[in-house]
């Protein structure tokens, strides 16, 4: 065993990685949430109607309209 000189000053504390902050859900007013839920309930039959219309009369406008309506529905559903 060798001789080790005493360390100068206080010992360095062990490394601790920074703590991750929990993400809070974004707060929305009650009226906005109610409007969003009502819009989601209205959009589902519209999407189904547009899907059947696209299957029966497949025009490019119907396909693009269906894609836009579904994207808007998913955006509202997951936000």
pLDDT tens digits, one per residue of 40-73: 999 999 999 999 999 998 999 999 999 999 999 9
In the predicted model, is pLDDT for residue 3 greater than 90?
A: no
65 contact partners, CB below 8 Å, separation of at least 6? 50
Query: Cβ(53)–Cβ(76) under 8 Å?
Result: no
Confidence of residue 23 (pLDDT cuts 50, 70, 90): low
- How far apart (Å, rounded) are the C-alpha atoms in residues 34 and 37? 5
pLDDT, residue 79, reads 81
Confidence at residue 4, expressed as pLDDT on a 0 to 100 scale: 64
The count of residues in the chain is 79
pTM: 0.62
Mean pLDDT of the chain, nearest integer: 85
Tokens of 5: 């000189």
């Amino acid at each position: 065993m060798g001789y080790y000189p005493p360390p100068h000053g206080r010992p360095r504390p062990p490394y601790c990685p920074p703590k991750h902050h929990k993400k809070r859900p974004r707060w929305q007013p009650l009226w906005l949430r109610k409007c969003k839920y009502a819009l989601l309930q209205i959009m589902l039959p519209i999407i189904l109607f547009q899907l059947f219309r696209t299957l029966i009369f497949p025009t490019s406008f119907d396909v693009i309209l269906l894609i836009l309506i579904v994207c808007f529905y998913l955006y509202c559903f997951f936000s």
